[in-house]
Amino acid sequence: MNWSKRRMTELEIFFKHFVHYCQYGNEHGWHENGTGGMSMLMPDELITKLQAQLDMTAEYKSLSVKVPALAREFFIVTSEGEIWDEIEERFEEFSGIVQIGPKGDAYRKVYGLERGGEPTTDFPIHLLIHEKLMKKTKSKRSIVYHCHPVNLTTLTYFLPLKDEVFTEALMKASVHCSLNIRGRIGVVDRLTMSVEELSKETVKKIDNSNLVIWPFHGVICCGESFPHLMGSVEMAEKAAAIRIKLIEMADKIVQEPKIEDLERLRKNVGEN
What tens digit of pLDDT does each residue of 112-160 get?
888 768 999 999 999 999 999 998 877 778 999 999 999 999 999 999 9
Answer yes or no: is 143 within a domain. Answer: no
* Overall domain count for the chain: 2
Q: Which helix (H) or strand (E) holds 84?
A: none
Model pLDDT, residue 163: 94
| Residue at a domain's end among 106, 135, 164 | 135
For 223-232, the pLDDT digits (tens) are: 999 998 999 9
> Mean pLDDT across the stretch 173-190?
81
Phi first, then psi: what are they for 184, rounded to 5°?
Answer: -95, 165
Phi first, then psi: what are they for 219, rounded to 5°?
Answer: -135, 160
Please indicate, yes or no, whether residues 156 and 114 belong to a single structural domain of this protein. no
Please indicate, yes or no, whether residues 112 and 154 belong to a single structural domain of this protein. no
Answer yes or no: is 203 within a domain. Answer: yes
For residue 25, the SS3 value is helix
| Residue at a domain's end among 111, 135, 159 | 135
Contact 35, 150 (CB under 8 A): no
Please indicate, yes or no, whether residues 3 and 131 belong to a single structural domain of this protein. yes
CATH of the domain at 25: 3.40.225.10
Please indicate, yes or no, whether residues 127 and 161 belong to a single structural domain of this protein. no
For residue 64, the SS3 value is coil
Question: What gap in Å lies between CA 124 and CA 84, rounded to an integer?
Answer: 20
| Per-residue pLDDT band at 253 (split at 50, 70, 90) | low
For 16-70, the pLDDT digits (tens) are: 888 888 888 888 889 887 688 999 999 888 888 888 889 999 999 999 999 999 9
Please indicate, yes or no, whether residues 160 and 126 belong to a single structural domain of this protein. no
Answer yes or no: is 190 within a domain. Answer: yes
| Residue at a domain's end among 84, 103, 135 | 135
